[in-house]
Structure 1
């Protein structure tokens, strides 16, 4: 594969060299896009060495996606895992969940309980109110600190609009209604903006009702029953009963409801000073954990109930922006507060005495200070940021017949849990006088302090009741952009990243299942270290005339101290009884070495006056060296409090979270009021020998050989007249039955979508 990648890049370099004379007068609109996430202030994309994709509000409306996860899938450049309909976990360059940083309006969403498995937090951002979404590929710790190992997904919501020119007021707004047949989805949205010369108000509401998702009927040839929902659990006369599903394509108990609110206030004090208040609220009803509802024990469905409680996210921020003052050209200060509640509830088959509920309440207070100075060819961004996280973890076991409640072990330590992040950074851009070279460089100093205490240690009798970690690190980046002629860009970028262990990494206790026959219990390990990455990537963007453009990027990442689950001992035992089942003990440990590499390539062409063609493909591989023996590694507690390895054998295993080859090919027509796009989304095979058996690849939800490859053809159309846009789409035209890798939830079958949008 490395030879193939090298040959592909060499051929692209040859094409680039031959094409110089044909593109001298060409200007790439894509390269001229303005991005903000790379340096905190507006900068042209062609001056940034790091790869960045920009998803505009126009494209977001055109895609008409169910949530931000589906929106990312439709780009063809970001892989997304799903454990249930109410979930979407982005994967960037083989990194997922807590190793990908989510940011909204400059405020980081990742908190002290973001797990390394699969997350659904991305869907709490309403894509219907985004002005843009920027995806940064590769480490971005210089600007954003911990967690940005694989990259950053930065959501930017719409801003209030002031009245301009001779208008005393401006009134504008939009709304839409959408229906999808595969899940009987009903979504309505409205937003309104009222602005004067110095004050503007923006309000938005979105409500969605998603029914049970229906999967495709055309199964892979070798797996005619893959993913079928033949039966489900329900209560009949108060007794848990397994009943036959009248339609095996319907993924019973996958529906949920969600509502999102946004309000912004803008006050323009003067030409140099403005103030903004930003309030966002997202909530759901109970969200069934669909993949777990398929789990079996002793030949029958294991769970009578498994659902996430309402996922509530509140963000409030105040931001002041100041123009030229003193030495600085711009100063932005953001002070913010977040309140998040997450919970999970499980009940085994006919265990009416055990509805287990675990609730996590997280509060985060933070600030972000960004300043910019421009002189000569230099643009310097200096900044500081900090966050203080607190967590209260509670749990109870309820008898659903009597209502009696008893104590239960919590998911996280039941005492005090705090995490403090603080950092200083500098990001610099230097544009050479010849206008052919642009230098990017930056440096960050970050400190993270964590404290977690166990108030009640009676459940597991752990050998410790307090965890303390203080981690300080320095990260940086340096890159060079070469712009030989208009429409051409070559870039090389080197960057380091880090992720400090959070409470989820250090102190979580939870049950994991890699197969119906193996139950595993993950326990705390207080001695793990921060993860670090060292990355280099090369990029090429080249116009051929005015109608053709190619983009190629390739990367290699050295991953050190990678956290992986490995066999462990709890109080001298490698297996313990948990919930009545003998479970193997695992814990997060730092693997010695890991590496990832891959490439992405895109081709874009205007093939006729109103017809365009595009295609993207992405490839990633990753492995780690781990300590292994024939029967698994064994760790024991030492007198000094550390854990020592009893025996070891170094071997290489696949990293988890590594997607198969995936991409998108599209041909679209747009003329005047009409738009039509026919496109295919596709994934290659993920063979079972490329799965990580102890990680989060979920082989139990694949076939005996792994996850089959697939191609899904789709059509979307729209017609615009006056202030109304009518949209009609068909997803999965051939009703293919498929799942994304690591997902326990099948994609929609043939899905008809209709929507009407209005603007005023």
Structure 2
């Protein structure tokens, strides 16, 4: 008994000590932060910037780059509201969150009431308050699309038609405007340069969609904010930025990679990007490689045009002789394949919350890209060309951006961007059985700066800035003997003495919130553009001038009103103007537009202008369905169009060994474009959503007699999709469709490529498509898609290469 008491006495202090430690651990655990993780329901990937708020709005939190947030303070409240643009709002009790092991999954939403856009004014604005029609493609949508090029991404929107002349191409058309009449911008730097042509461009493919954070498309004139070229609209692409760590001692390391294979062009793509973020400095590195083989077109043809698009032959050089071979598979478009490399490097330094520095380096290059349509042309029953290809298309961008925040007398936010771009393009062609290859090379250097400011004074918001651009163009050419390697002189595409194009501009925009229902928008911009071209060697073309100098000024403005009467109604009206100064390509190019015609310089070209009026009506239903319609009418004045002309009083000249009709660019007196765009977005249930779009455009050049078709005007087109979003899974079944374009609506002298149409024009077409994504593991996602399920043969309007046939693609993604 005594022994038992002694033992009890001996162990009692130990027990008290252990109990004390236990209670202290409980207390510390109670005081420790309770961390929640918010993920995407379909991908299980962390979602950043989710807003957590209590019912009374007094307690808030925001998820970090890893989707995590501290919700310790929410224990005392009944509910937590989770919200983020692009996701369904979710309200949960704290106890329910605990039962989920503090992991909450948000469902992506097709309907978003508070989406923020940047491109309308260069600073953040609520989309519903902006009078312009704007379409946003976010990072989640870009990832799910899994498209090979950015041109293909735009074609998937249902509101932009994309023309192609070769597999390595893609020329977006917005409201009947294309090429140098729409503006491309990347990370605040305009891509349009002095040699952007009026025909069809492929420069958009130099943007790597695998590293895009979002893309915004502003429909209609955007010259007040962006200056020259923004007649039909602006496409602004934003690449991802480095993500910094949240504390001094932590690091933010993220790795994303994917590999994709697609059957139609035997496409093989690999991509990897690495983010390394510290508290004040971060690095983002990205690399993408794509290999395209020859494209296979659809084999199910319109019974009235069964031979259309068949590739029955191809040319190869064997033993120093051009040989014509029969194509064993006429649906295999030989040659059309190429390879592309894209590199991005960003460095972000943020010494404080109010200042950040960003260095942005982008480089894109390709191998030779066959100009497929030219390789199909015949002369005297035989192929006209043995070779026709674009040389490597290179784009280098180096930009520095300074962002500064802080309430000052004249601004709250400012952004300075200084950039340098180098563009290299070349064209090589050789006639059948001709040993001389024509080589024409262009190099463009662009220096630019933008300094933009934002000031909020309550009901008034001012955004203003200055901009400068300077382009230098060097053009060279030579003939190359493929047998002996000898070279000889050749006429250049642009003036051989060099050309320059410079612009300076200042703008101001203003938004006045008269009440929560009425928001007035207005803006002005003045631009001054100067162009100089020097014609040094006149051996091939004895031009009656040695140089051309032009200086043009333009004043642009807009006035808009947004009316939000409530009950999810929205009415927006806008009148705006746009302008485009003639560039080096318009003014001084010698170019074979189509075989048998040649465009010669016109030093008397003047700027072209548009005056636009549009009205948008939007109606929402229970924050689940949105129906929107936009009607517009554009007066097009001094439109630069191609018309018959003369060179030294001759209407025909010899060019590229062929007697060719002389054409020249002129300012047509008047033209007009009008149209309608309709969009439907509906979240039918928590898992099913519906989207649909339809676009109609009509354009004419006004003449003294009968109005003549304006080129670049697409037929009616659109897209309808049904989406399914489940745990770990997302699926989409969609149809894309185009109406017919009758031959009588073609512009026979412009860029509609009527020679590649059928005898009745471009037939109507539609495709059925399916894509899916499944999160097989926290870090691994598998995507599979089947495009053009019915394997239909079709061509997009004005395209001179057929669209892909049935295309199965498989993508494996990893995020770590």
Tell me the equivalent position of 2:533.
452
Matched, 1:574 2:655: no
Deviation at 1:234, TM superposition (A): 1.3
SS in structure 1 at match of 2:475: strand
RMSD value, Cα: 1.2
Deviation at 1:165, TM superposition (A): 4.4
User: TM-score, with normalisation over the residues of structure 2?
Assistant: 0.85
1:237 corresponds to 2:319: yes
- Who is 1:394 aligned against? 476
Q: 1:611: which partner in 2?
A: 688
Contact 2:618 2:626 in 1 (8 A): yes
The 10-residue stretch of structure 1 (232-241 or 45-54) with the greater mean CA deviation from structure 2: 232-241
Structure 1 spans left out of the alignment, 5+ residues: 1-26, 627-648
Q: CA deviation at 1:485?
A: 0.8
Paired residues of 1:162 and 1:197 also in contact (CA < 8 A): yes
Shift of 1:607: 2.9
Query: Does the alignment pair 1:759 with 2:815?
Result: yes
Output the CA distance in 1 between the equivalents of 2:237 and 2:461: 24
Cα contact 2:111–2:683 (8 A) shared by 1: no
Query: Superposed, which structure 2 residues align to 1:540-579 within 5 Å?
Result: 540-579=617-656
Structure 2 contact 228–580 (Cα < 8 Å) conserved:
yes
Deviates more, 1:338-347 or 1:545-554: 545-554
Give the equivalent residue in structure 2 for 1:273. 355
Paired residue secondary structure (1:484): strand
Which residue of structure 2 aligns with residue 538 of structure 1? 615
Query: Which residue number corresponds to residue 729 of structure 2?
Result: 674
Q: Which moved more, 1:121-130 or 1:238-247?
A: 238-247
Alpha-carbon distance, 1:488 to partner: 2.1
User: Residue 699 in 1 paired to residue 754 in 2?
Assistant: yes
Shifted more, 308-317 versus 267-276: the winner is 267-276
Q: Secondary structure at the match of 1:511?
A: coil
1:661 paired to 2:735: no
Q: Secondary structure at the match of 2:242?
A: coil
Give the match for residue 725 of structure 1: 781
Query: Which one is further off, 140-149 or 323-332?
Result: 323-332
Structure 1, residues 404-454: CA drift from partner, whole Å, max 9, x if none? 10000000000020011110000111112x300111110000000000001
Query: 1:493 aligned to 563, 574, 577, which one?
Result: 574
Q: 1:484: which partner in 2?
A: 565
Tell me, in whole angstroms, the C-alpha distance in 2 between the residues paired with 1:548 and 1:322: 38
* Residue 510 (str. 1) matches residue 566 (str. 2): no
Q: Is the 8 A contact 2:370 2:389 kept in 1?
A: yes
Number of residue pairs matched? 706
User: Aligned partners of 2:543 and 2:164: how far apart in 1?
Assistant: 33
Structure 1 CA distance for aligned equivalents of residues 408 and 145 of structure 2 = 45
What is the correspondence of 1:79-478 to structure 2 with a 5 Å cutoff? 79-165=161-247, 168-324=250-406, 326-327=408-409, 328-352=411-435, 354-432=436-514, 434-478=515-559
Deviations 1:336-372 (A, max 9, x none): 10001000000001001x2000000100011000011
Q: CA deviation at 1:582?
A: 1.0
Bigger shift: residues 564-573 or 543-552:
543-552
1:650 positional shift: 4.5
Report the equivalent of 2:741.
686
Picking from 657, 665, 676, the partner of 1:599 is: 676
Aligned residues of 1:28 and 1:543 also touching (Cα < 8 A): no
1:42 aligns with 2:119: no
Map Cα deviations across residues 269-320 of structure 1 (whole Å, 9 max, x no partner): 2222111100000000000001111111111111100000000000000111
Q: State the alpha-carbon separation in 2 of the partners of residues 45 and 681 from structure 1.
A: 26
The alpha-carbon deviation at position 546 of structure 1 amounts to 3.5
Correspondence for 1:639 = none
Q: Contact conserved, 2:559 with 2:575, CA < 8 A, in 1?
A: yes
Report the Cα distance in structure 2 between the residues aligned to 1:172 and 1:190, rounded to whole angstroms.
11
SS at match of 1:505: helix
CA distance in 2, matches of 1:115, 1:178: 33
**Stretch moving more, 611-620 or 148-157:** 611-620
CA offset digits 1:58-97 (Å, max 9, x no partner): 0000001111111011111110000001010000000000
Look up the SS of the partner of 2:735 in the other structure: strand
Q: Structure 2 unaligned runs (5+)?
A: 1-108
Distance 1:29 1:437, change over 3 A: farther
Contact 2:247 2:279 in 1 (8 A): no
Q: Give the whole-Å Cα distance in 2 for the aligned partners of 1:535 and 1:348.
A: 45
Contact kept? 1:31, 1:487, Cα under 8 Å: no
Structure 1 position 167, deviation (Å):
5.3
Instruction: Specify the SS of the correspondent of 1:291.
Output: helix
Does structure 2 conserve the Cα–Cα contact (< 8 Å) formed by 1:28 and 1:487? no
Counterpart Cα distance in 2 of 1:254 and 1:379: 51
Contact 2:414 2:451 in 1 (8 A): yes
1:713 maps onto 2:774 in alignment: no
Q: Distance in 2 between matches of 1:326 and 1:544?
A: 41
Structure 2 CA distance for aligned equivalents of residues 151 and 266 of structure 1? 30
Residue 56 of structure 1 is matched in structure 2 by: 138
CA contact (8 A) 1:101 1:153 kept: yes
Counterpart Cα distance in 2 of 1:701 and 1:320: 48
How far the C-alpha of 1:239 sits from its partner, in A, is 1.1
| 1:585 matched to 2:662 | yes
Match of 2:197, SS?
Answer: coil
Contact residue 511 and residue 521 of structure 2 kept, 8 A: yes
Question: Aligned partners of 1:755 and 1:441: how far apart in 2?
Answer: 46
Contact 1:413–1:454 (CA<8 Å) still a contact in 2?
Answer: yes
Is 1:625 aligned to 2:625, yes or no?
no
Asked if the contact 2:397/2:420 (under 8 Å) is kept, the reply is yes
1:750 aligns to 2:786 (yes or no):
no
Question: Contact conserved, 2:163 with 2:171, CA < 8 A, in 1?
Answer: yes
- Structure 1 length-normalised TM: 0.92
Name the CA distance, whole Å, in 2 between partners of 1:373 and 1:545.
Answer: 34
Tell me how far 1:179 sits from its aligned partner. 0.0
Distance in structure 1 (CA, Å) of the matches to 2:112 and 2:695: 19
Aligned 8 A contact 1:557 1:597 in 2: yes
Assess if the C-alpha contact under 8 Å between 2:496 and 2:534 holds in 1.
yes
Q: Distance in 1 between matches of 2:546 and 2:746?
A: 35
- Distance in 2 separating the partners of 1:305 and 1:312: 21
Is the aligned partner of 1:525 residue 2:602?
Answer: yes
Q: Is the 8 A contact 2:508 2:524 kept in 1?
A: yes
Q: Residue 28 of structure 1 contacts residue 486 of structure 1 at CA under 8 Å; is this kept in 2?
A: no
Q: Please identify the structure whose Cα radius of gyration is greater.
A: 2
CA deviation vs aligned residue, 1:552-577 (integer Å, no higher than 9, x gap): 11100000000111111110101111
